[in-house]
Amino acid sequence: MSYTFTLSGHSSVLSADFYPPIELGKTNKYGLALIGFYTYNSIFNVTEKNNSFGYVKNDEDPKNIHFLIIPPGAYEISEMGKAMLTVLKEDSKDKREGLFSLEANNNTLKCEMMSKFNIVFPPDRESIGTLLGFQSGMHESGEKHYSIYNVDIMKVRIIRIDCNIISGAYLNSTESHTLFEFDIDVEPGYKISKEPQNNIYMPIIPEGRQFIDNISIRLLDDDGDLIDFRGEKIIVKLELKQIL
User: Does any domain span residue 110?
Assistant: yes
Last residue of a domain, one of 126, 146, 166: 146
pLDDT of amino acid 191: 97
| Domain presence at residue 185 | yes
The reply to whether 92 and 27 lie within a common domain is no
CA distance 166 to 209: 11
Residue 234 pLDDT level (bands cut at 50, 70, 90): very high
pLDDT digits (tens, 9 = 90+) for 38-82: 999 999 999 999 999 999 988 788 888 999 999 999 999 999 999
Residues 95 and 164 in one domain: no
What stretch of H or E contains 182?
strand 178-183
Residues 30 and 72 in one domain: no
Calculate the CA dihedral of residues 153, 221, 223, 12 and round it to 10 degrees: 120
CA distance 29 to 176: 19
Among 24-33, 84-93, 195-204, the least confident range: 24-33
Write out pLDDT tens, residues 160-193: 999 999 998 888 888 889 999 999 999 999 999 9
**The CATH number of the domain where 186 resides is what?**
2.60.120.1100
| pTM for the full predicted model | 0.87
Q: 186 and 210 share a domain?
A: yes
56, amino acid identity: V
- 188-215 per-position pLDDT tens digit: 999 999 999 999 999 998 877 889 999 9
Are both 60 and 141 inside the same structural domain?
yes
Q: Please tell me whether residues 70 and 99 are part of one structural domain.
A: yes
- Please tell me the total count of domains within the chain: 2
Q: Is the pLDDT of residue 90 over 80?
A: yes
CB 134 within 8 A of CB 114: no
The answer on 138 and 62 residing in a single domain is yes
- In this structure, is residue 104 part of a structural domain? yes
Per DSSP, what are the bridge partners of residue 4?
A: 239
Range of the domain at 6: 2-43+156-242
Of 91, 125, 146, the position where a domain reaches its end is: 146
Q: Would you state the pLDDT for residue 209?
A: 85
224 CB-near residues (< 8 Å, 6+ apart):
160, 171
* Cis check: omega of the bond before 21, within 30 degrees of 0: no
pLDDT, the chain, mean:
93
- Phi then psi for residue 26, to 5 deg, are -65, -30
Whether residues 120 and 58 share a domain: the answer is: yes
> What pairs with residue 146 in β-bridges?
112
What integer pLDDT is reported at residue 106 of this predicted model? 87
In the listed set 146, 175, 190, which residue is the last one of a domain according to the structure? 146
Q: Is 151 within a domain?
A: no
